[in-house]
Amino acid sequence: MTTKTYLVTGGAGFIGSHIAATLLERGETVRIFDSLVTGREINLAALKGQAEYIQGDLRDGVVLKEAMRGVDVVFHQAAIASVPRSIADPTGSLEINVNGTQNVLLAARDAGVRRVVFASSSAIYGDAPEFPKREDMYPAPLSPYALHKLTGEFLCSIFTRIYGLETIALRYFNVFGPRQDPASEYAAVIPRFLSLLSTGQRPVIFGDGEQTRDFVYVGDVVRANLLASTSSKAVGAVINIGAGKHTSLNTVLRIARELLGVQIEAEYRDGRPGDVRDSLADIQLAHRLLGFQPEIDLRTGLALTLESVRQVHAG
């Protein structure tokens, strides 16, 4: 059997490190590319001695060229993945999320890489009133981050059409699971809730808490990426990856409190600019093109995530 080499950009990050670990468990050859600006060395610790690691920046074409050598598939996860951060620093977001993505595609094309699987975002839908969100809906980005991810999708499409580089863009909805950084200023809601509640602190909810999100467990997102790396039907496509269910932040808080056995109330603050009100993925295309079906429900995923949060606090 011919072995393949996989490159995971952002492999020290939350989703990227899970993709790398799963590939290694399957006996694949894995190379990780990360600047460690948002990625964390702790996420690389379990992969040491198994995956090759290149520390580099997406803006450095020379290092990217070296990272692409002999690679068959790229999982492009590296990004400044934050709506608030993109609002605070739109130029920095553009440099990494747009120019960096173009650099990845150019380096992949020049190295003869077969396929790039690009991590996009449901943020591109904005507050479009149609529900659930379908891939053929007109995009309505509300933040620089959302616009930059949409631009990345178009770049992928162009590289497939013009240069013949196989690309697939996966529009992630609200991914959660172990290894999300609860200490980050821009931490996602679930690790922040679990970390604060487990240490007896009140979590903050921006808005009334009735806004909904499609929370999808990271293990399901990893499977979607691996399916996208082999599907012949999905080349050139943009595909939603979510659970196909939406849950309010107040409901997430209630389940988290039940799992922890606490009754701590949230602190409610004014909503933030750029945040969407409701989000729900139509995942029919993912099922049709990838054979993808989510397997981990929200409560099970929260319990698995809580276990990892407790380990962090114990350590």
The confidence score (pLDDT) of residue 186 equals 58
Which pLDDT value is given to residue 187? 63
Q: Does domain 5-175+215-244 have CATH number 2.40.50.140?
A: no
Query: According to the 3-state scheme, what is the secondary structure of the chain?
Result: CCCCEEEEECCCCHHHHHHHHHHHHCCCEEEEEECCCCCCHHHHHCCCCCCEEEECCCCCHHHHHHHCCCCCEEEECCCCCCHHHHHHCHHHHHHHHHHHHHHHHHHHHHHCCCEEEEEEEHHHHCCCCCCCECCCCCCCCCCHHHHHHHHHHHHHHHHHHHHCCEEEEEEECEEECCCCCCCCCCCCHHHHHHHHHHCCCCCEEECCCCCEECEEEHHHHHHHHHHHCCCCCCCCCEEEECCCCCEEHHHHHHHHHHHHCCCCCCEEECCCCCCCCCCCECCHHHHHHHCCCCCCCHHHHHHHHHHHHHHHHHC
Q: pLDDT-derived band of residue 313, with 50, 70 and 90 as boundaries? A: low
CB burial of residue 164 (10 Å; 0-12, 13-18, 19+) = exposed
Domains of the chain by residue range: 5-175+215-244
Segment 239-245 shows an average pLDDT of: 98
pLDDT digits 0-9 by tens, 180-234: 887 766 568 898 899 899 999 999 999 999 999 999 999 999 999 999 999 999 9
Q: What is the pLDDT of residue 180?
A: 87
Specify the pLDDT at position 271: 87
pLDDT-above-70 percentage for the chain = 97
Q: What is the pLDDT of residue 307?
A: 86
What average pLDDT does range 261-276 have in this prediction?
Answer: 89
State how beta strands 212-213 and 267-269 pair: unpaired
Instruction: Decide if pLDDT at 129 tops 90.
Output: no
| Residue 276: per-residue pLDDT | 79
User: Which pLDDT value is given to residue 49?
Assistant: 82
Q: What integer pLDDT is reported at residue 185 of this predicted model?
A: 60
Q: Please tell me the predicted confidence (pLDDT) of residue 2.
A: 63
Q: Which sequence positions are flagged as catalytic? A: 145
**How many percent of the chain have pLDDT more than 90?**
82
**Would strands 115-121 and 73-76 be described as parallel, antiparallel, or unpaired?**
parallel
Tell me the mean pLDDT in the region 65-89.
95
* Phi-psi category of residue 274: left, alpha or beta, with phi > 0 → left and psi -120 to 50 → alpha: left
Report strand pairing: 52-55 vs 174-176.
Answer: unpaired
pLDDT band at 314 (very low <50, low <70, confident <90, very high): low
pLDDT of residue 90: 96
Q: What is the pLDDT of residues 153-167, one digit of tens each?
A: 999 999 999 999 999
What is the average pLDDT across 297-307?
Answer: 94
